[in-house]
Amino acid sequence: MPEDQAHTVERTLVLLKPDALVRGLAGRVVQRFEDAALKIVGVKMKWMDEDFTRRHYFDLEERLGSEVYNLTATFMQQGPVIALVLEGYDAIATVRKIVGSTYPNQAPAGTVRGDFSHMSSAASVTVGKAVANLVHASGNKEEAEQEVQLWFDKDELYDYRTLAEIYTS
């Protein structure tokens, strides 16, 4: 099979944002990842301080401007987040598909954002708040590697076999 079509086991970072926690949706969101045969290999809860927020969103201000960075930072610091490292075949693309478009009003039904959120970019600007979209998911392999290293030490990530892996090997 050509390399561009090869399916590989990857690890990716997912953050359940403060709005997912205050709405009591964490379990329902995690269930969707597990239903897609993604394995949780790291998990922690963290309250992001100013320094850590800057490190996580290191290029956001440069890409989208100070206003977007400040709204995002304020939003992410309003409550704790749950950080997950998920592992599986094509995990990065699979997670992105499960969560849906960044803007919930553009996310199709059946995705996390399409089913549980509704805010548009225009509404965000109108109310002067970040888009409440429940989840952050790494956008590509390089971002996933960087974010996993930022959020987790090596000894906080676990290798184990799921029941499905045991029965298929």
What are the sequence ranges of the domains in the chain? 3-168
Helix or strand (DSSP H, E) at 136: strand 135-137
Q: Please, are residues 100 and 7 in contact by the beta-carbon 8 Å criterion?
A: no
- Which residue among the candidates 7, 56, 118, 136 is catalytic per the annotation? 136
Can 7 be counted among the known catalytic residues? no
Rounded CA separation 38/59 (Å)? 28
Rounded CA separation 113/67 (Å)? 23
Mean pLDDT of the chain: 92
The predicted structure's pLDDT at residue 163: 86
Residue with the larger pLDDT of the pair 163 and 56: 56
Confidence (pTM):
0.91
pLDDT over 80 at 51, yes or no: yes
3-168 to CATH, choices 3.30.70.141, 3.90.190.20, 3.50.30.50, 3.40.140.10? 3.30.70.141
> What does the pLDDT look like over 79-93, one tens digit per residue?
999 999 999 999 999
The predicted structure's pLDDT at residue 1: 38
